[in-house]
Amino acid sequence: MRPTTLLGRLARLVGRFAVSGLLAAAAGTALLTQPASAAAGLTAVTGFGSNPGNLSMYSYVPAALPAGAPLVVALHGCGQSANDYYANSGWPKFADEYGFAVVFPQTSSANNALSCFTWFDPADSARGKGEAASVAQMVTKAESLYGSDARRVFVTGLSAGGGMAADLLAAYPDVFAGGSVDSGLPAQCAISQLGASSCQFGSVDLTPAQWGDKVRAQYPGYAGPWPRVAIWQGTSDYTVHPVNATELRDQWTNVHGLSQTPSSTANLPGNTTLTSYNDSSGQAAVQLYQISGMGHGLAVDPGSGAQQCGTTAAYFLDTICSSYYTARFWGLDRSGGTDPGGEQLPAPTGLAAATVTDTSIALSWSTVQGAASYRVLRNGAQVGAPAGTTFTDTGLASATSYTYTVAAVGSDGTVGKVSSPVTATTTGSAPVCTTASNYAHVAAGRARTSGGYTYANGSGQNMGLYNVFTTHTLKETSPGYYVLADSGC
């Protein structure tokens, strides 16, 4: 990010548009951007419709692309151009390898002082309106020009482009089969410039159902299927705060009718954690990629490797090739949309609770061919990663039920399908908590008094003065053994 003084000058220059500039600091780099038509292989397309959003259309089409190939729409960030996204994002590499066309819409300072897509204004973000309608017209034009498969159209975008990508998924779920929101905002997070800042800095606090309602309201009566959505976010992003990724996850899992509890978790290159949320068929409908330590931008990984792509530049950050993993998630590599990193390993079978005590549950399951390790989840959260097919979960509460699932993990870190759940209950009695005055605790035998003070029996914790005014909660963790539990039993 630019120094505060520069941001301040920019804000004064752009006036009322500053709040909407998600890549506000990038405005200084926009002067260095070459026109999109200067990029080799990037072609300007005109006559794509009435163009109510005043956008420009550019496309990249691999040589000898057959009819019926997929189509990807890629939206740049503020202060950027179609050329920037073409040159740095890595999408042309995978268009060549996997065989699909890419449309690069471009906005300008005539629409927004910082050349941002207007994700926060219903006049541009709603179905049939402004910029959103222009992008939809570009899709129709591309389908006509290149014979693209209308069932396999996808949209991705960075920052303000990410916010617009989310809006397009909500407004045109009948057009886009999937999307990717990179350092962006939930669909319809803001409906005014004033509200844009609250979204950007994570000040909007809605339930998953409320977020989902914002999507459903964009195309009333639409019954699905809904687009599959990938969400990319750096944990050190101070331009679009990381909570936006969680809200995007809440929004799209709710739209798909899914829990916000991950179906699986995997560690990927670039300090990236991937959590997947599977539909009833076991296919990921929503994926959240969180990149530890990354700031605001699109994740790239320059190099010639199969999983590498892109070029580092302003807001193109060297961490992991997001375009590769997104393309695989959408199934553009002809995998059908399996989890990134390879074909999914099958789910372990025979998961059972072998031995149960009052504080532990021992699990066992069958071996999965090709597994390097296993992930054990308790109530949806990972609690173990054993190399073998047994695991003992310890430190549990007595007389409490826990539900477990297990998934195999390949040598490349790919997490396989999740096993059927098993529920086990620890033995013993549930802890008993009692809230009373110190005088009453002593009278009931839960505590003792010495020198005017009260001490819990068993733990010996000091409970304060021995009187009827001081009140505490004591938890009996074993017969005759009490601990302070004022913060919750």
- Beta-bridge partners for 230: 180, 287
Distance of alpha carbon 433 from alpha carbon 485, whole angstroms: 8
431 phi/psi in degrees, rounded to 5: -55, 140
Query: Torsion over CA of 178, 83, 68 and 64, rounded to 10 degrees?
Result: -150
Distance of alpha carbon 412 from alpha carbon 90, whole angstroms: 22
Q: Residue 30: which region, alpha, beta or left (left: phi > 0; alpha: psi -120 to 50)? A: alpha
Residue 178: CB partners within 8 Å, gap ≥ 6? Answer: 154, 155, 227, 228, 229, 230, 329, 330
Catalytic annotation, pick one of 89, 148, 159, 322: 159
Do residues 404 and 384 lie in contact, with contact meaning Cβ atoms separated by under 8 Å? no
Do residues 133 and 52 lie in contact, with contact meaning Cβ atoms separated by under 8 Å? yes
Angle formed at CA 179 by CA 173 and CA 181, multiple of 5 degrees? 125
Distance of alpha carbon 198 from alpha carbon 200, whole angstroms: 6
Do residues 163 and 117 lie in contact, with contact meaning Cβ atoms separated by under 8 Å? yes
Q: Residue 144: which region, alpha, beta or left (left: phi > 0; alpha: psi -120 to 50)? A: alpha
- Cβ neighbour number for residue 357 with a 10 Å cutoff: 14
Catalytic (active site) residue 159: yes
Distance of alpha carbon 181 from alpha carbon 170, whole angstroms: 12
Residue 235: CB partners within 8 Å, gap ≥ 6? Answer: 242, 290, 291, 292, 293, 294
- Beta-bridge partners for 207: none
- Catalytic positions: 159
